[in-house]
A and B are shown apart, each in its own frame.
Chain A
Amino acid sequence: SQKIEQNSEALNIQEGKTATLTCNYTNYSPAYLQWYRQDPGRGPVFLLLIRENEKEKRKERLKVTFDTTLKQSLFHITASQPADSATYLCALGSRGFKTIFGAGTRLFVKA
C-alpha cells in the first residue's frame, strides 16, 4: 500500500541554522508533492508545491527538492527562527487519487 514516512523524532536545532526535513514514500508515483506547516490545534497551512518534473523549488527561506528516483523530498529552512517551530507535513498527490499526508515532523528552533 502507499506509504509516506517522515521522521517521527522531533528535530531540534539552533536559531540561524538550516533545518532539513525528510519525506520518503513507497508504492506511489506522485504527480506532485506538497509541504504544509501545522501549528498545535490549527489546520495545516500550505507552503510549497513541487511537481514530478521539477527538481527544486524555492520560496524565501524555504527550499524543497524532489527526487522521484529515490522517492524522496527534502525540505530546508535556512536561517531558522524560533517562529519556524511547528510540525511540517508532506503530502503526495496524483490525478484521480486522493492526496495522502505524512504524519509530520516536529521542528523546534531554539533561540
Chain B
Amino acid sequence: GAVVSQHPSRVICKSGTSVKIECRSLDFQATTMFWYRQFPKQSLMLMATSNEGSKATYEQGVEKDKFLINHASLTLSTLTVTSAHPEDSSFYICSAGVWDQPQHFGDGTRLSIL
C-alpha cells in the first residue's frame, strides 16, 4: 500500500530554533499533502494543505509566517516551524491523499521546545 515517510520522528530543541519536518510519499505522487497538529487525547487539527508547485492553503488561526510549508516536488512537502517556542510543542503529522480516498499518514514528529 501507499507509504508516507515523515522525518524526524522526534525533535528536542531550544526556544528560538527553527525546525524543519519532512514528509515524503515513497511510492506514489502526491500533488496534495496535509499537515496536522495533535494534542494529547484530542483530534487531528488541520493546519494547512500543501499543494505541489503553489502556495499552501492555511487554516484559520494558523500563522503562515510561523509555519512555513514548501511542496517543491510531487513526493516531498516540508513544514518549518520558525523561531519555535514552548507553546509550539506538539505532535505534527502529515498525510497525502485525494478527497474521497483514504489518507496515508506519516508516523508523526514529536516536537519539544525547551
**A contact residues vs B (CB 8 Å cutoff):** 4, 8, 31-32, 34, 36, 41-46, 49, 51, 89, 91, 93, 95-96, 98-104
Contact = CB atoms under 8 A, between A and B. Distances in A.
B102 A41 contact: no
Interface of A is mostly: strand
B107 A95 contact: no
Interface in B1-32: 4, 6
Contact of A42 (B44, B49, B108): B108
Given A32-B100, A102-B43, 6 more contacts: A36-B105, A43-B4, A43-B106, A44-B103, A89-B43, A103-B41
7 contacts: A4-B43, A8-B41, A41-B107, A42-B108, A43-B6, A46-B103, A98-B46
Contacts, number: 57
A34 B95 CA distance: 14
B110 interface: yes
A48 B44 CA distance: 18
A44 B44 contact: yes
A42 B38 CA distance: 11
Contacts of A46: 102-104
Contacts of A44: 44, 93, 103, 105
B102 A49 contact: yes
